[in-house]
Structure 1
Amino acid sequence: MQRDVTMPQLGMAQDAGKIVSWLKAPGDAVAKGDALFEVETDKATMEVEAQAAGFLTGVSASEGEDVPVGAVIARISDSAEDDTPAQTAAAPAAEAPADDLPDGHSVTMPQLGMAQDTGLLVGWLKSPGDAVAATDVLFEVETDKSTMEVEAGRDGYLAATLAQAGEEVPVGGPVAVISEAAPANPVARSVAKAAAAPAAEPVPTRPQPTPEPSRTAQPAAPQPAGGRILASPKARRLALEQGLDLARLAKAGYPQPYHVRDLDTLRSLPAAASAAEVGTASRRLVAEVPEDGLPGFTAWAAGAHGLSDADAILAALAACSMPVPGPVAVERQGQTKTYALPAGRGLSDAMETDDAPALILRDLRGSRLTSVEMGGEATPALTLTPKGDGLTLTLECAPSEMDAADAIQLLSDFAGRVEQPLRHLL
């Protein structure tokens, strides 16, 4: 089975990346996680890892070459004998197709992870025909690992929307069109209709304000594919901080996507379980790391970059591992500090905050404790305890605070970052 290797998107405004160097040669055997090549954009240089095991074949891009985001540049095949060049994918069209869509710049679905093939469009924050600035948020997108807001990227008018809330859009696929002039006939389509390219569906040049959707519970409300809950990033963050389970709104039949205003409705729902029941039904996940990479990493960060606050580094590593990043409180030797890491920023940008933590990180590496089991608490807690040259990581949370998939992802990602911090900087 062949798997395409594509140029990743490292930033919302990125159209292409430069291949700095290939770290594997055609025909080389690769394991999942091996670094294949280095890519450079305006803001970062990083290694791109193999997403499957096999042999590197079909390399079609050279070192120093600028490659469009989403373009296929190689394959991972079952055999090293497969030397057919990978068919280079065309760059996402900078201009809208010349069929019945308005002329303008195409806004595409970003790639938020190396293994991401599609993104789920959570909801639109602008309507067709609206004037937009480059920094205005157009829509919210969700993948298996994160939810984020996507900006327009340029000034103009939202001339066309090519997907609806709840639809999956392929990475690099068109989502919207930004035109320089106000469109005479703004277009609104779904993914299926955009792919079939039927006649445009014009909407009024000056769209009327969208009426507030009814938040009355509906029986047997349809659920998105895969059981996902559609919600804005802010609603997710606040729900996580306040211990609210958005799935209860879906079960009660309230229409998605959910926004901050829906949290009041969620709070008014009858309690699903008593506090004692929540504590008893706590999730407890344990991971072991054979080698603690934090001491060496913090020493390097202090010497090379002047980052002397080890707690800030630890909090930033945890925040980067959270499905929905939020403030992290680090408890060490009886003292607690809470840090926030702005979205899309590096470890050096973690700063102290007075906000309520979304995760408590207990650093017990200097203690004699080797295991903890505290039960359900008001906030998810992640505890580090020593084990030989390595660590034991214990995550405890109530089901209402974090679903099973998010808990597994958080612990797995944090374990990787603790063991090899340098490799996970980006």
Structure 2
Amino acid sequence: MTTEVRVPTLGESVTEATVATWFKKPGDAVAVDEMLCELETDKVTVEVPAPAAGTLADIVAGEGQTVGVDALLATIAEGAAAAAAPAAAAAPTGGEDPAPGGDTVDVMVPTLGESVSEATVSTWFKSVGDAVAQDEMLCELETDKVSVEVPAPAAGVLAEITAPEGSTVAANARLAVISGSAAGAAGASASAPAPAAAPAAASGKDIANAPSAEKAMAEAGLSPDQVPGTGRDGRIMKEDVARAVASAVAAPAPAAEAAPRAPVPADDAAREERVKMTRLRQTIAKRLKDSQNTAAMLTTYNEVDMSAVMGLRKEYKDLFEKKHGARLGFMSFFTKACCHALKEVPEVNAEIDGTDIVYKNFVHMGIATGTPTGLVVPVIRDADSMSFAAIEKAIAEKGKRARDGKLSMAEMQGGTFTISNGGVYGSLMSSPILNPPQSGILGMHKIQDRPMVVNGEIVIRPMMYLALSYDHRIVDGKGAVTFLVRVKEALEDPRRLLMDL
């Protein structure tokens, strides 16, 4: 009996993905819910778990291949699970078998995709003579579509690198040779500095860490035992590495070792460092430029006196937290104010579909959130019908899950309007860029005391600049200015929100 592995739901507006990495190969035993591969879309990485236990019989969509929703990725033969599982359990330390006898194993370029015929070797994470564990990441290739990580096909010692960094290789070309001799195997077990093999033995895991995490650890000079894993079965994810680096877990020695790589000669050209953009960053760049090229984007500005909101928050924050179990922040006030303004100016909450304008009679509020891996926009659904407490709880919960890399694609889809708070980073003024197909985005900024004229007198008030970027194709200047004025009025007199004024 066979079970099909198919592309999961990617989100409302996402119809295809690229197969980034396979963590199993045909013939490998798999457990239920064990991660088989990673898919990359233009917004997020999606993990595909095994729907059943057994043996991976066939990989239909190779690395680098573009697949649609519900497309067939692989098949699992369930009948072979019983025989495969004990063999995996009886494997030597680390769960890998070295290549038999004195044989050598070639490391080949994996499948790159139908329209991709060559790749560039961007980074080697192992050197000749290093011990390698089976499925440990050896190097990374880059094509014009995606980065491809190459795992070791067997345990042993890296005997030869035939394609050094910077070289261009064709599909199915040989990259390196792994020696599986008895001496090589002994060297592998005795080589303590091997960054992945030794910790694997210590942890007893037979599930490899995410290749993206292995790469990040290699770049940061971290070993797996320095990074607590939050993935399935303790698997280390890329976000775990980012948190470890931010917490100063990394020892200073690796940084010192990395220093000689950047010599400082006299001429400026030699002091420059050229780093190739990741494929994800290239996609983000393309999306942002497409947004500018498609929408007639314009930004209007205003400023708001935050005295009333700050006073209200100071007066009730303790009671609020005691009753609702959530902190009272500024985002709930801004969310409520925007929902209020969107009812009066519905075109800011609309989108263009061909020659039609689609008006949304609800507000799915996107809250831009900074994470160790980049900016994401989780969506608070039906924010217009939520209380202050419900909004604060939703923002806190989704913000934490965003920083931990736990958001699903569905949670970042379907937004009708977005709020971006650059003030938390100290921004005083900016022009936010639209998140298509949305027609409006509000930019919050730093609260700063400034002298203001009130009733003919100069007083010091906590002021914030507000910016609304909008699509001028469906939002006129009058509507955009009216929206921002209504937000300003609601924040300067929060009682208007209670009375729907």
By percentage of residues, which structure has more helix? Answer: 2
With normalisation by structure 2, the TM-score equals 0.30
- Which structure is higher in RCO with an 8 Å CA cutoff and minimum separation 6? 2
